[in-house]
Structure 1
Amino acid sequence: MLELNHFYNMDCMDGMKRFPEKYFELAIVDPPYFDGPNKRGYYGKKINTLNIRRVDYPKIQSWDLPTEKYFEELVRVSKNQIVWGCNYFHHQFGPGRIVWDKCNGESSFSDCEIAYCSLHDSVRLFRYMWNGMMQGKSISEGWIQQGNKQKNEVRIHPCQKPIALYDWILTTYAKPGWKILDTHVGSASSLISCFNNGFDYVGFEIDPVIYQLASDRVETMMAQQSFFRRNAF
């Protein structure tokens, strides 16, 4: 069995086989469901109206869409699941949903993202601004733009989600002592949130370039949090 609190550069299908049934209390996953950003090599229009070039992201080499075997294995190793992009998959999910309102105003991107949640049968809403340099102020005031852009998260992945989103998920759904699984780590926002909130985790990322970028981000963020904790008193 693989170790907890580790981030592995490997295929999640191979990784999940290393764990017994229902080992993780919660899997929070964001599998790839379209390859537009990867084909373009960037997210959004290449040149915006101000003639400013958008940030280029590294080409992601592995955009294999999850198969039914992936979902079967995910359910085997986890007691509960939150699956982003559930509306794009043919898998039969239960009724529970989380809607993330990105508060993106006039943006051409999607107004929200949808996740399946096995922990309830209802629909829950989380509002947090996430549109380029326009990012939310806090979990409690996510629809208000962060005034100091120096506090914005740096994007390293075309489908990056904010740490605040995972903070909200963990504080809303996870219980102390739960082990968290992320099969498609991407930017590692989930792992940083697990660390910040005191949850054990295991993460997988198959792409070596993204894995290295995400590993560097995790190390930097964890070092910052450890510094603040040591100097809190």
Structure 2
Amino acid sequence: MDYLSEFEDNYFDIAIVDPPYFSGPEKRRYYGRKNSPIGVKRLYEELSEWEVPAKEYFDELLRISKNQIIFGVNYFDYPFGPGRIVWDKVNGRSSFSDCELAYCSLHDSTRLFRYMWNGMMQGKSISEGHIQQGNKKLNEIRIHPTQKPINLYRLLVQKYAKKGDKILDTHVGSASSLIAFEEAGFEYVGFEKDPIMFEKAKKRLEEYKRKSFELISLFEVEEVEE
């Protein structure tokens, strides 16, 4: 909130955010095991308490952004418009929610996106999100208790952002959003208050940039050789 006040009205073209709707990671016990079944170490003893946003946060978010996609809309007591995005996680018999809901200011209807996200069972691609990725080595590494897949953010920017947009994410978490923004060439600003997650997210984003640079360099070498 200290930094958001520095941005002028409608500075960002779109805000894509996933604010916490419960107090912190200590609320997620990973079925009582020391480590979760998806390889995320139990971090709630190290991570700081999460702050559930108040009305003032949403007022400020809507002030500095022209459009918004806000996950967890069903948990917040705020007068959002009718537009909704439903993320069907194709999670079978998991004890977690089958879907997540987001407010979307860009339409008044409800849109559905299916992408498997249940432990080691992850979607194959954006177009085949309901099909499980056959090679688990290609799965995203989970570093955050409520991490969302990069492909979810890829779909959102493909459908709702346009070239030249400035994007805001106030709750970066694992940096899945920033990787998608970076990949698509958008200008963005991201915030992460927890120092542990900040370092993990920064490392993940830098690793993505490094691999992308290596692929581009390899492609350029092959082009010259040909």
TM-score above 0.5, yes or no: yes
Task: Summarize the alignment of residues 8-19 of structure 1 with structure 2, pairs less than 5 Å apart.
Answer: 13-19=1-7
Deviations 1:173-220 (A, max 9, x none): 100000000001001100000001111100001110110111111111
Contact 2:20 2:51 in 1 (8 A): yes
* Aligned pair partner of 2:11 in 13, 16, 23: 23
Aligned-partner Cα distance in 2 for 1:179–1:53:
33
Per-residue deviation at 1:53? 9.3
The code of the aligned residue for 1:164 comes to N
* One of 40, 46, 52 as aligned partner of 1:55: 40
Query: 1:150-169 to 2 correspondence within 5 Å?
Result: 150-169=137-156
Partner of 2:131 in structure 1?
144
Establish whether residue 78 from structure 1 lines up as the match of residue 103 from structure 2: no
Ranges in structure 2 where 5+ consecutive residues have no aligned partner? none
The answer to whether the 8 Å contact 2:38/2:142 transfers is no
**Residues 33 and 178 of structure 1, relative CA distance in 2, 3 Å threshold:** same
Q: Does 2:82 correspond to 1:87?
A: no
Aligned 8 A contact 1:15 1:204 in 2: no
Number of equivalences = 217
CA shift in 2, pair 1:58/1:80, >3 Å: same
Q: Residue type of the partner of 1:230?
A: S
Residue 20 of structure 1 deviates from its aligned partner by 1.0
Closer, same or farther in 2 for the Cα pair 1:194/1:188, shift >3 Å? Answer: same
> Letter of the aligned partner of 1:46 in structure 2?
G
CA–CA separation in structure 2 for the residues paired with 1:138 and 1:169: 14
> Residues 49-95 of structure 1, C-alpha deviation per residue, up to 9 Å, x if partnerless?
xx979632423313111011000110111000000000000011000
Contact 1:47 1:53 in 2 (8 A): no
What is aligned with 2:20? 32
| Structure 1 residue 101 displacement after superposition | 0.3
Q: Which runs of 5+ in 1 are unaligned?
A: 1-12
For residue 46 of structure 1, what is the aligned residue in structure 2?
Answer: 32
Q: Which structure shows the higher helix fraction?
A: 2
Q: Which residue of 2 aligns with 1:187?
A: 174
CA distance in structure 2 between the aligned counterparts of 1:22 and 1:188, rounded to whole angstroms: 23
Query: Is contact 1:58–1:210 with CA below 8 Å preserved after alignment?
Result: no
The aligned amino acid for 2:119 is G
Tell me: higher relative CO, structure 1 or 2? Use CA pairs within 8 A at least 6 residues apart.
1
The Cα of 1:229 is off from its aligned counterpart by: 2.1
CA distance in 2, matches of 1:117, 1:124: 9
Instruction: Determine the C-alpha separation between the residues in 2 that align with 1:53 and 1:141.
Output: 21
| Distance across 2 between alignment mates of 1:101 and 1:52 | 20
Provide the aligned C-alpha RMSD in A.
1.8
Pick aligned residue for 1:226 from 201, 204, 213: 213
Overall identity of the aligned pairs, in % = 58
Secondary structure (helix, strand or coil) at the match of 1:196 reads helix
| C-alpha separation in 2, matches of 1:231 and 1:24 | 35
Contact 2:153 2:180 in 1 (8 A): yes
> Is the contact between residue 62 and residue 206 of structure 1 (CA under 8 Å) also seen in structure 2?
no
Segments of 4+ moved more than 6 angstroms: none
Aligned partners of 2:84 and 2:104 also within 8 Å:
yes
